[in-house]
């Protein structure tokens, strides 16, 4: 009740903030949508607004959220404007519901509710939801996709794998960073299928095909658009080995920014500190799926770090300082999922040690139950 109550209160607060201050974030997709509506209704000329970095406001970004707002703006009066501002809080609510549903199957309702409540209390996640940035929707897609990938590894239900693929596709269609994240998730899924010894290869092949189609189908309109129209993108230099080698000296500074950002209490509370400490304690007790989640998280963080090597901003440090906190928001659900998995391994190991020390002569065995916290058999 406490965990789910906290999550419900947080979503209600974000919805109230979104309706009360729809223009809270100057560079959010919702703000640009409001401006576009003003132009469409005969308002000021487009050059009335100017981006402080470039005159081109990300025309190469995916189309998921702009299309959603375009549909809502067709509603009469101010109703469409209010509903468009609620997309961010709605994505936060969807993330919390997906996590509660998935974690319940993995660890039981109590752990799932507490973890969902903890996720809703990460400051940066909830502060960015009403602002209209695309990072919370991407966190919803990418984080839930990783969760249902874990459910597929544990339970082998095709529905979980298909849902993982669809959520991954939604991440790619929500923000440009979603595309490499999707590639990571699909590679993790493919690696699991290669390592899995199964007596039903045809069924697995069919599920794999559906997963890949789901991951590709949703962002396909955006991929075709960028391939045909070649919209301008001014934030990054060409992704070539030559550019990387020329700017590789940025990496130590970028790593320093990452560490300092993760220690920012006002953004993350103690999430990253607790996760690091738990991983150190549970290093030898992580399950194979837990190690896979750790690799996924490291891969996602690595993508974001390397991306700034190609930054076209002058100086690039301004790009890191203004964007890193939003990028890390995208990794918060996966980080919390890994934290719960690591704590589950520690709890199960402690239960095993206590049981053997207490009743060594009865041959008690500890097996991993539905909650992963240990059950007596």
Please write the tens of the pLDDT for every residue from 135-187: 999 999 999 999 999 999 998 888 999 999 999 999 999 988 899 999 999 99
> Looking at residue 272, what is its pLDDT?
96
Q: Is the pLDDT of residue 44 over 80?
A: no
**What does the pLDDT read at residue 358?**
59
- What pLDDT is recorded for position 355? 58
Greater confidence, 273 or 21? Answer: 273
| HEC string for 294-337 | HHHHHHHHHHHHHHHHHECCCCHHHHHHHHHHHHHHCCHHHHHH
Mean pLDDT of the region 3-31: 82
Q: What is the mean pLDDT of residues 12-24?
A: 83
120: left (phi > 0), else alpha (psi -120 to 50), else beta? alpha
Q: Which residue has the higher pLDDT, 200 or 307?
A: 307
The predicted model gives 44-59 an average pLDDT of 60
Q: Which band of pLDDT confidence, cut at 50, 70 and 90, is reported for residue 199?
A: low
Task: List CB contacts of 303: < 8 A, sequence separation 6 or more.
Answer: 177, 180, 181, 184
Least confident stretch, 18-22, 81-85, 347-351: 347-351
Cis peptide before 315 (omega within 30 of 0): yes
Nearest Cα residue to 268 out of 317, 318, 327: 327
278-309 tens-digit pLDDT: 999 988 888 889 999 999 999 999 999 999 99
Answer positive or negative: Cα dihedral of 117, 122, 126, 129.
negative
Which of 15-29, 72-86, 248-262, 278-292 is predicted most confidently?
Answer: 248-262
With a cut of 70, say whether residue 320 has pLDDT above it. Answer: yes
pLDDT in tens, 67-107: 888 888 888 877 887 888 888 899 999 999 999 999 999 99
Per-residue confidence (pLDDT) for residue 377, from 0 to 100 = 33
Helix or strand run (H / E) with residue 11: helix 2-20
368 has a pLDDT exceeding 50: no
pLDDT at site 61: 78
Cα separation, 28 vs 25, in Å, equals: 6
Question: How big is the CA angle at 322 (ends 321 and 327), to the nearest 5 degrees?
Answer: 95
List the single range of 8-22, 45-59, 214-228, 324-338 with lowest mean pLDDT.
Answer: 45-59
| This prediction's pTM | 0.86
Nearest to 114 by CA among 366, 346, 367, 344: 344
Answer yes or no: is pLDDT of 366 > 70: no
| Of 37 and 175, more confident | 175
Q: What pLDDT was estimated at residue 31? A: 75
Give pLDDT, residue 116: 94
Lowest-confidence region among 108-122, 124-138, 196-210, 361-375: 361-375
247 vs 250: CA distance, rounded Å: 6
* Arithmetic mean of pLDDT, 255-282: 93
């Amino acid at each position: 009740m406490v965990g789910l109550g906290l999550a419900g209160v947080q979503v209600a607060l974000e919805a109230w903030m979104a309706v009360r201050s729809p223009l809270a974030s100057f560079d959010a997709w919702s703000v640009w949508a409001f401006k576009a509506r003003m132009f469409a209704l005969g308002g000021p000329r487009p050059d009335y607004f100017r981006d402080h970095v470039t005159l081109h406001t990300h025309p190469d970004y995916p189309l998921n959220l702009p299309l959603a707002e375009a549909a809502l703006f067709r509603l009469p009066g101010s109703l469409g404007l209010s509903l468009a501002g609620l997309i961010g809080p709605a994505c936060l609510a969807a993330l919390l519901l997906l996590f509660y549903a998935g974690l319940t199957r993995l660890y039981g309702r109590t752990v799932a509710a507490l973890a969902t409540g903890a996720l809703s209390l990460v400051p940066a996640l909830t502060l960015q939801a009403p602002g209209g940035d695309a990072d919370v929707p991407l966190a919803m897609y990418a984080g839930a996709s990783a969760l249902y990938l874990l459910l597929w590894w544990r339970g082998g239900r095709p529905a979980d794998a298909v849902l993982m693929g669809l959520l991954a596709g939604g991440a790619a269609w929500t923000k440009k960073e979603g595309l490499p994240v999707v590639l990571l998730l699909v590679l993790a899924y493919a690696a699991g299928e290669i390592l899995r010894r199964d007596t039903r290869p045809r069924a697995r092949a069919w599920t794999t095909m559906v997963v890949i189609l789901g991951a590709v189908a949703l962002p396909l309109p955006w991929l075709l658009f960028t391939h045909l129209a070649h919209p301008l993108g001014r934030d990054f230099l060409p992704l070539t080995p030559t550019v990387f080698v020329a700017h590789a000296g940025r990496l130590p500074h970028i790593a320093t920014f990452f560490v300092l950002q993760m220690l920012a209490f006002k953004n993350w509370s103690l999430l990253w500190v607790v996760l690091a400490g738990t991983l150190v304690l549970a290093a030898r007790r992580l399950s194979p799926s837990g190690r896979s989640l750790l690799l996924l998280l490291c891969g996602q963080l690595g993508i974001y770090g390397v991306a700034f090597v190609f930054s076209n901003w002058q100086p690039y440090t301004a790009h890191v300082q203004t964007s890193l906190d939003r990028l890390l928001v995208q990794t918060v659900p996966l980080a919390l999922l890994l934290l719960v998995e690591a704590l589950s391994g520690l709890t199960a190991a402690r239960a095993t040690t206590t049981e053997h020390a207490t009743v060594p002569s009865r041959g008690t065995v500890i097996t991993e139950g539905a909650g992963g916290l240990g059950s007596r058999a």
